[in-house]
Amino acid sequence: MRDGQWLVQGDAVTLATAWCLLLMSVLSWVLILFKGWTLWRAARDLPRSIEAFWQAPDLDAACVRLQGFDRARLALPLPEALRAWRAAGARSALATQGDVQAQRTRVLRGALQQSAQRLHAGQIWLATIGATAPFVGLLGTVWGIYLALVTMTGDAQISIDRISGPVGEALVMTAAGLAVAIPAVLAYNLMGRRVAQLEAELEGFAHDLLALD
């Protein structure tokens, strides 16, 4: 079996492994490009959004002003949640019980969690692809070697030259798995650092809003 014929003529396991790696690669690069562009835009817009917020005369005007800057809606949920809490007034619910500062903290914490979830969207898929792709490629390699050996079982003479070709082709699956995993892992680590920076900025913004009268 030369020139990749083991893949073309492979059974369901070989084809399923190859298609799985292809789909993982496509999904990984779609996430890398989309998530990278989203985080780049958020890193550029978030400082401007916070600066524009504090230049407004009051909370209502600040929320309206923030809508024009915060396209990713990372900072906007925090003042909107605070404004909704103020507008709700006194209600007989557990959420409005206790110290006023504790209520404000609870409201801002919930809005901050929503923004954090938006930042982390897609990260779990990159981590999963980076962790599993090498093993999927290894499965394809092992199965390809098995098929190559089974094909040569009936041959009277087996030499290194006849084995090296099919085995080398099967090892391509391991390389394919690494080629899928390495970009996903690198992107996950780099994006995780950027997400942590944005989260720190949002936490500082929430702390400032907590002290707002």
What average pLDDT values come out for the chain (213 residues) when binned by 10 residues? 54 83 94 92 89 86 84 87 76 58 85 90 92 91 79 63 67 89 94 92 88 71
**For position 160, what pLDDT does the model report?**
62
Helical H segments across the chain, by residue range: 5-8, 12-54, 59-67, 77-88, 100-120, 123-151, 160-210
Q: Are the beta carbons of 202 and 210 closer than 8 angstroms?
A: no
Cα–Cα dist 81/110, whole Å: 8
**For position 92, what pLDDT does the model report?**
46
Cα–Cα dist 51/112, whole Å: 18
Cα–Cα dist 115/202, whole Å: 8
**For position 13, what pLDDT does the model report?**
79
Domain boundaries, the chain: 5-210
